[in-house]
Every structure is written in C-alpha cells, then in structure tokens.
C-alpha cells in the first residue's frame, strides 16, 4: 500500500490499472513557478515537494508517490485554464503545434526520495473555431494542464504523439513502476 499525494482521479485510475493499492492524501503546496525557473526544474520541484510534504505529515512511515504534469509550448508552462477566455486562447495556441508534456514522479520512503522526469511530444491538429467552441462547451479540459484531456474527448484534438501516452494522462506508468520497485513496492497486485 502506498500513499498517493494527489487528488487527480486520472492518477488513481492509472495506479489501479497497474495493480498498485493506494490511499489518497493530496499535498497542499504553493504551485507557483519560481522566477526564471525552467519547466523541467519546476515539475521535478513540484513532485518532490508534494511527496516530501505528505511523507512528513504521516504518523507512521509509508511510501509516498507524488507527481506533477505540465504542458509546455515554446518554453512556457501552460497550466490549467483560469477562465473560458484563457481556455480558448490556450487551445488556439496549441492548434497545429507540438507541445511537450513533462511529468515528474517522486517516490519517498523514509529519508529517501527518488525522482524521474518524462517528456512526451504531442502535436495538435489544426483546430478551427467550430471545433474549439464545441470542445469548450463540453467542459472537459477546464481542470487539466494544457486545457485538454487526451484520455477523453480531447483525443480528437491530437494528431500525433511521441512518447508515453500515460504520461500525457498524468502518470508515466513504466517509469512509475520502476521507481516503485526500487522502493520495494510491486505492481500487478491482486
């Protein structure tokens, strides 16, 4: 059993998919990027911070898994949409362009914290105004980094993907499994 330092239902589903029993204890941290912080450094710092904060709050020792995912376009972090207008602008920016989806994973056991950074390249098809309007109306992407969900209706926005699909969903499973194994946690548990 591990502690998942995330409220993301997608991360819970992905852990369940690979048979890792877990409980959820979201981390409450400031997720503001530091001035001039590179996106790669940001996601690693967020994952480590989430894992360490939750681990330090536990009454009994346990293994904590934390993750952070960001969508990067032209070196800029695209967070979650702040308003319908921001969401529209985000989709317009992504239209016809290739973005990087960065996920950092941190696994904390006692004083040990190991991290991995995974990058997936996602290319959006050219989005016309009608498609953007329809996607905004479905409401799916308003709570997701980059403003879309590849595992849902947003799949039709994607023309090409290079790298880990589960990374784009929010938790790169192959790298997560390796880190968990290194901390004595097996997957495919029944």
Residues annotated as part of the active site: 68
Residue 135: exposed, middle, or buried by beta-carbon count in 10 A (0-12, 13-18, 19+)?
buried
The tokens describing 62, both together, are: 């346990």
Tell me how many degrees the CA angle 138-105-47 measures, rounded to the nearest 5. Answer: 85
Say if CB 3 and CB 62 are below 8 A apart.
yes
């Amino acid at each position: 059993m591990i502690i998942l330092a995330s409220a993301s239902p997608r991360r819970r589903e992905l852990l369940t998919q690979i048979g890792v029993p877990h409980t959820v204890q979201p981390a409450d941290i400031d997720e503001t990027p530091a001035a001039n912080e590179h996106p790669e450094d940001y996601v690693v710092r967020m994952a480590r911070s989430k894992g360490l904060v939750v681990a330090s709050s536990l009454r009994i020792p346990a293994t904590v898994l934390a993750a952070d995912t960001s969508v990067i376009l032209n070196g800029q972090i695209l967070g979650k949409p702040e308003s319908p207008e921001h969401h529209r602008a985000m989709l317009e920016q992504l239209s016809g362009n290739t973005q990087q989806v960065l996920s950092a994973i941190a696994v904390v056991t006692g004083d040990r914290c190991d991290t991995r950074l995974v990058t997936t390249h996602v290319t959006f098809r050219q989005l016309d105004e009608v498609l953007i309007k329809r996607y905004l109306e479905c409401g799916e992407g308003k709570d997701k980094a980059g403003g879309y969900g590849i595992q849902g209706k947003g799949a039709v926005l994607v023309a090409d993907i290079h790298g880990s699909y589960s990374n784009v969903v929010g938790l790169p499973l192959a790298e997560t499994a390796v880190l968990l194994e290194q901390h004595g946690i097996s997957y495919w548990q029944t």
